[in-house]
Amino acid sequence: MSARHAPLWPVWLMLLLAAMLELLPLPGGLSRLGPPWTAMVVIYWALMWPGRVAIGTAWLAGLLLDVLQGSLLGQHALSLSVTSYLVLRFHLQMRIFPLWQLTMTVFCLLLLEAFLRLWIDGVAGDARAGLMRFAPAVTGLMVWPLLMALLDRSRERLERRESRFT
Amino acid sequence: MALKPAEHEQRGYRSGGPGLRLILLVAFSIALMVLDQRGQHLDQARRTLSGAFYPLLYLVDAPFTLVDTLRENLALRSELLARNRELDETLLLTNARLQRMAALEAENARLRALLDSTENLPGRVLIAEILSIDMDPLRHRIVLNRGLRDGVHAGQALIDAEGIVGQVTREHGRTAEALLITDPDHGVPVEVVRNGLRTVAMGTGDLERLSLPFLPRNADIRAGDLLVTSGLGGSFPAGYPVGTVRRVDDSAGAAFSEVDAEPAARLNRIREVLLVFPDEVERGHSIQDSPPDPSAGDAPAPADDAPETGNGEAET
């Protein structure tokens, strides 16, 4: 229960790293399969530290992604804040899910996030590549357990360090 | 695992908070998107933000640049010598071809003067490097390492050694975003060299393919025809190669034939491109002659008073 005072800058560092990972060019046809790192990191922290990392953080991270990727300003911001709201809403249920069930829930959230962006693009008049848009969510589904293990470790370290000092 | 309300409060959750905040932020996002979509209201904000985050782009690009540099530095002497010889030969051939260009250009100018027409030949080019950044895998957009500081402005054409690459869509402080000609949203006004037939080459989302969707079935076009920019629309200078027609399918029962072309520029392998600056004097002419074209994007641009930095620039 020490999440309340743990420093927030590591979370921001992770979000920056995630945004950079999304910009990393993957070879050839793989580039369309790059997992939505930022969305996954946002989901993780909204799940684990819901009182601290929530809609506002998600919105800012989305805005960063919009600037970096040159998409419509506010597009990722909207989709990520809606996603983080859902996580916030159901975090108590989601936390007691077994890993496979949590992974499936995250997959659904990633699909929803991709769908929101597709929808916005549709309204703005440039919807394209229909099904390929959901490919990153599938890759996200595959890397989620790994990412979660990695982030769990750093979160535990953060919380432990904090409790040592207070 | 169920938490009591008191504990809830203790851990800093607010019960009514998130929903309200979500609604506010969603409304704000929608307002932002509408402003961004309808014109240039947010260009300055975007420029400031991307200026603040441009070190991130360089960090992502750095490993790739490093690998390139290492490859250059670790090359064997014999390889370097061979490459040097090869380049010397190419230069000789190119120069030999250029000898006739001067005479042809003069003749062309004379003929055009007789016909009373002006042509927008580019005055100046600037070498720009493409950063290894994947902006959006579904679109063909690239980031260049030149921006407003170098006089880059939206609407400028990009070429490589083989042909047209794309055009600048957004300029930031030190970087610029550009759209490749193969982006599904992009169209280049082209003409067939063989007979002057004019049409538009649209991107397909495939780096190896352009499509010419507006040709009637009886249009005189066949596989192997060279397409060059027609210069209509004002965004692209006339006469640069765009691609070669690969396939003409007029057997379908539709009113238009399906024509595919292969881009001339090596879009999947380029690392450096040339930014074309339209010649200032010529452009002055064309602006006076024709009504200003808002889509052309070469209205009074900062390019005019850009410092002549010499580095990487060449007269054509």
Identify the CA nearest to B264 among candidates B209, B212, B203, B191: B209
CB-CB contact of B189 with B295 (8 Å): no
Identify the CA nearest to A89 among candidates B7, B21, B25, B30: B21
Residues of chain A with Cβ-Cβ distance to B141 below 8 Å are 70
Residues of chain B with Cβ-Cβ distance to A26 below 8 Å are 134
* Higher-scoring residue by pLDDT: A28, B114: B114
Rounded-to-5 percentages of helix, strand, coil across chain B: 35, 25, 40
Which one of B25, B134, B138 has the shortest CB-CB distance to A81? B25
Put simply, the answer to whether B29 touches A59 (Cβ < 8 Å) is: yes
The CB-based long-range contact list for A5-8 (8 Å cut-off, 24+ gap) reads: A5/A162, A5/A166, A6/A49, A6/A52, A6/A158, A6/A159, A6/A161, A6/A162, A7/A158, A7/A162, A8/A52, A8/A53
Put simply, the answer to whether B60 touches A24 (Cβ < 8 Å) is: yes
CB-CB contact of B130 with B174 (8 Å): no
Cα Rg, chain B, nearest whole Å: 25
Q: Work out the burial of residue A68: count CB atoms within 10 Å of its CB; fewer than 13 is exposed, 13-18 middle, 19 or more buried.
A: buried
Dihedral through CA A103, CA A105, CA A109, CA A112, nearest 10?
120
B46 shares contact with chain A (CB less than 8 Å): yes
Which one of A20, A95, A126 has the shortest CB-CB distance to B60? A20
Strand B226-229 and strand B241-249: pairing? antiparallel
What are the structural domains, with CATH classification, of chain A? 9-165 (1.10.1760)
Residues of chain B with Cβ-Cβ distance to A124 below 8 Å are 33, 37
Put simply, the answer to whether A73 touches B21 (Cβ < 8 Å) is: no
- Give CA separation, A26 vs A32, A36, A38, A123, B68, in Å: 8, 13, 16, 29, 16
Put simply, the answer to whether A70 touches B135 (Cβ < 8 Å) is: yes
Q: For residues B108 and B67, what is the distance between their CA atoms, to the nearest angstrom? A: 45
Cα Rg, chain A, nearest whole Å: 16
> pLDDT digit string (tens) for B264-286?
888 877 788 888 887 543 443 34
CA distance B70 to chain A (A): 19
For chain A, the residue count is 166
What are the structural domains, with CATH classification, of chain B? 25-74 (no CATH), 118-303 (2.40.10.340)
Residues 130-169 of B with CB under 8 A from A: 132-138, 141
Put simply, the answer to whether A26 touches B25 (Cβ < 8 Å) is: no
Amino acid at B227: L
Per-chain mean pLDDT for chain A: 86
Identify the CA nearest to B304 among candidates B281, B285, B272: B281
Query: How many pairs of residues across A and B have Cβ atoms under 8 Å apart?
Result: 119
Alpha helix locations (H) across A24-134?
A: 37-48, 55-69, 75-95, 99-124
Put simply, the answer to whether A34 touches B134 (Cβ < 8 Å) is: yes
DSSP lists the bridge partners of residue B249 as B258
Q: Work out the burial of residue A111: count CB atoms within 10 Å of its CB; fewer than 13 is exposed, 13-18 middle, 19 or more buried.
A: middle
User: Which of B11, B24, B29, B183 is most worth mutating to test chain A (most A CB atoms within 10 A of its CB)?
Assistant: B29
Structure tokens at A147: 């990412």
**Tens place of pLDDT for every residue, chain B, 316 residues?**
444 444 444 444 455 577 888 899 999 999 888 888 877 777 788 888 888 888 888 888 888 888 888 887 887 888 889 989 999 999 999 888 888 888 888 888 888 777 766 555 556 788 888 887 777 767 788 888 888 888 888 888 888 888 899 999 888 888 888 989 988 888 899 999 888 889 999 988 888 889 888 888 888 888 888 999 888 887 888 888 899 998 888 776 777 788 889 998 888 777 888 888 875 434 433 433 334 444 444 434 443 444 444 444 444 3
Which one of B12, B37, B136 has the shortest CB-CB distance to A51? B12
Question: Phi/psi of residue B312, each to 5°?
Answer: 80, 5
Which residues lie below 8 Å from residue B197, measured CB to CB, with a gap of 6+? B191, B215, B219, B220, B221
User: Which of B25, B58, B66, B144 is most worth mutating to test chain A (most A CB atoms within 10 A of its CB)?
Assistant: B25
> pLDDT digit string (tens) for B157-201?
888 888 899 999 888 888 888 989 988 888 899 999 888 889 999
Which residues lie below 8 Å from residue B74, measured CB to CB, with a gap of 6+? none
pLDDT of residue B298: 41
Amino acid at A126: D
Residues of chain B with Cβ-Cβ distance to A96 below 8 Å are 1
CB-CB contact of B282 with B120 (8 Å): yes
Specify the residue for token string 């975007």: B46
A4-32 b/e (C-beta count within 10 Å ≥ 16 → b): eebeeeebeebbbebbbebbbbeeeeeeb
B-chain residue closest to A65, CA distance: B135
